[in-house]
Chain A
Amino acid sequence: MKPLTAKRLAWICGGLMLLLLVTVIFVLRIGAVPISIVDLVASLGRVAIGRSDQLPSEYSLIVFDIRLPRILLGILVGAALSVAGAGFQALLRNPLADPYVLGVSSGAALGAIISLIVSSRATLAMPLAAFAGALATIAGVYLLGRRGGQLDTPTLLLAGIICASFLSAVIMFLMTTLSGGETRGIAFWLMGDLTSTSTPINKWWMFGLLGIAIGAIYSTAADLNLLLSGEQEAMHLGVDVRRVKLIVYVSASLLTGLAVSVSGAIGYVGLIVPHVMRMIFGSDHRLLIPTTAIGGAIAIVIADTMARTIVFPTELPVGAMTAMAGAPVFIYLLRRRLQ
């Protein structure tokens, strides 16, 4: 019997953080202007010791003003969507749950678009509106997905798909009321896009919110392990089921709202990343939540780099990349589950 220890958790998370750092450095090099790894590490080192004024100006522009903000955005979005996916999967006891599949991303997108129409500038109101949209959608899908008082996989997935298509129709309708240039921008953004210039990444409070929401879900990690066997069972083992459900639904909706408000609806990350982490590290949420957060960050950073280089000089939306990889995995998991 080898239970999880704090030491093992720290080693695994440390290792993954290192992998993320290596990925970031590697990815920073890739692009139209090649940069040698030695120069890159040297300039990162200068920034780290607070001597960024000594950097050559072209580096400063390419690495720190163009590439790094986009990578940080990818880290934020990847961690948020993956942890939201893991949370929904545990709560709904459905390995196919994911903010995108459940229509929660569409709800968040609708909320974000409504706030854009009202104020036309991306402010704090946009993530909050996206959060409200996400929360309302998961509540609706949860209610529609019940059959005879029980959550039922096909019903739940159908409810998610129906909600997503309904919300997309509403989004389309709203988009027709916008002018041409804006509409195209939003259509691209809706596919999941990290290039949005309206949301500069120097908004550190976004990372603050991300940390709070992931921390809140992490505080229920041991309870989520028990919830996998059902609410009755968890209650008999001492879990305050209502409290845990409230915390996780609200936090996962906040994470989805946060991600969608900066990058649109990037699908399947919340599905694939928790599954891969579960395959590698097991299904203990005390380990799964942090590894999923870091793994999701790595996955999106890599997917975005592929999206911006694969058909160079044009770019694919990162959501198209994740959907290409994610949809087959979803079908595989669904077939395996229904057998």
Chain B
Amino acid sequence: MSDVTLRPGAATSAAVPAASRAVRLSVEQASYAYSAADKKSAPLFTLEATSLQARRRELVAIVGPNASGKSTLLRLISGALRPLSGRVHLDGFEVSALDARTRAQRIAVVQQESPLLFPIRVGEYVLQGRHPHGQTLRFESAKDLEIAEQSLAQVGVAHLGARWMHQISGGEKQKVVLARALAQQPLLLLLDEPTLHLDIGAQVELLQQLRRLAEDHGYTVVVVTHELNLAAEFADQVALLHRGKCLSCGMPAEVYDRKLLEKVFGASLEVETSPTGRPRVTAYARREDL
């Protein structure tokens, strides 16, 4: 799974080597439980101790059925939730202990839904990504503007800057939301089911873009997705979650074991190797079920 393993406690020191192959994100035995409203009953959902590590330029996919704990793990990594036990470290810092502004300078999150209350232009929306880098009330500088324009260009929608957010297509919106995250100039880019409402062409385009961004700009990217094949094709590592447990974490070829996937998803599956050498999962109906 990884050739660099941190000893427990080693990551608490800020002096983690900055070499490009050093571990950037380290989730060590992190767990979480959503408590029931009355606090006395059993927790509504528990994510058991989970570990994973990711380096600069790496793309990690978190996969699993519905309610397996994918989004909870992502929220732990984002620092929105504080782990009940274990640690989540980014470049040696505990993410949930960072103040909101510092965290937003290092971690950008693209959520499933970004509802807008009042109309806003694409350019203004992307400029919001510069918020953690500015003073409370200052106006955007020429540099902020440049970064926002670059971010739009990086995802290939530089022409949309003057348009209204509610007038662009779903695929374009997804790119603009990603551009806002890039404008934060983060170390870590987290995406919660970014392919949800996209057609297959747009899905491939998005993953390719993330891959390229990771390689060209050194981001560490973590994606929660339902798309097993896209994850296999584009991710360096896959974490497979099931009922709040991380069953397997590693290279796609290691994780995509037919028996394991069949057990997790409760379906008949075939795992082959694609022309690119990555595993490919196909679901089929058993004759006896028809």
Contact = CB atoms under 8 A, between A and B. Distances in A.
A220 B123 CA distance: 21
B126 to A, nearest CB: 8
Query: Which residue, of B104, B134, B145, B149, has the highest number of chain A Cβ atoms within 10 A?
Result: B104
Interface in A225-254: 225-226, 228-230, 232-233, 235-241
Interface in B180-199: 184
Residues of B contacting A: mostly: mixed
Nearest to B110: A236
B99 interface: yes
B123 A2 contact: yes
Contact of A238 (B104, B123, B145): B104
Contact of B128 (A1, A237, A278): A237
Contacts of A232: 80, 111
Contacts, number: 91
Interface stretch (B48-56, B112-120, B245-253, B278-286): B112-120
A283 B119 contact: yes
A5 interface: yes
Q: Interface residue tally of chain A, by bracket? A: 20 to 34
A240 B121 CA distance: 24
A237 B148 CA distance: 14
Contacts of A1: 121, 123-124, 127, 145, 148-149, 161-162
A232 B112 CA distance: 12
A240 B123 contact: no
Given A219-B136, A222-B137, A239-B100, A283 B120 contact: yes
Given A3-B140, A283-B120, A237 B184 contact: yes
Interface string A272-302: 0000001000111010000000000000000
A95 interface: yes
A85 B184 CA distance: 31
Contact of A240 (B78, B100, B120): B100
B103 interface: yes
A222 B115 contact: no
Interface in B133-150: 134, 136-137, 139-140, 144-145, 148-149
B29 interface: no
Contacts of B87: none
B137 A221 contact: yes
Contacts of A223: 136
Given A222-B131, A228-B116, A236 B139 contact: no
A251 to B, nearest CB: 15
A237 B132 contact: yes
A226 B131 contact: yes
A311 interface: no
Given A238-B132, A278-B118, 5 more contacts: A1-B161, A3-B145, A236-B111, A237-B128, A238-B101
Interface of A: 1-6, 9, 93, 95, 218-223, 225-226, 228-230, 232-233, 235-241, 278, 282-284, 286
Closest 9 CB pairs of A and B: A238-B104, A238-B132, A1-B123, A283-B118, A238-B101, A236-B109, A3-B140, A228-B117, A1-B161
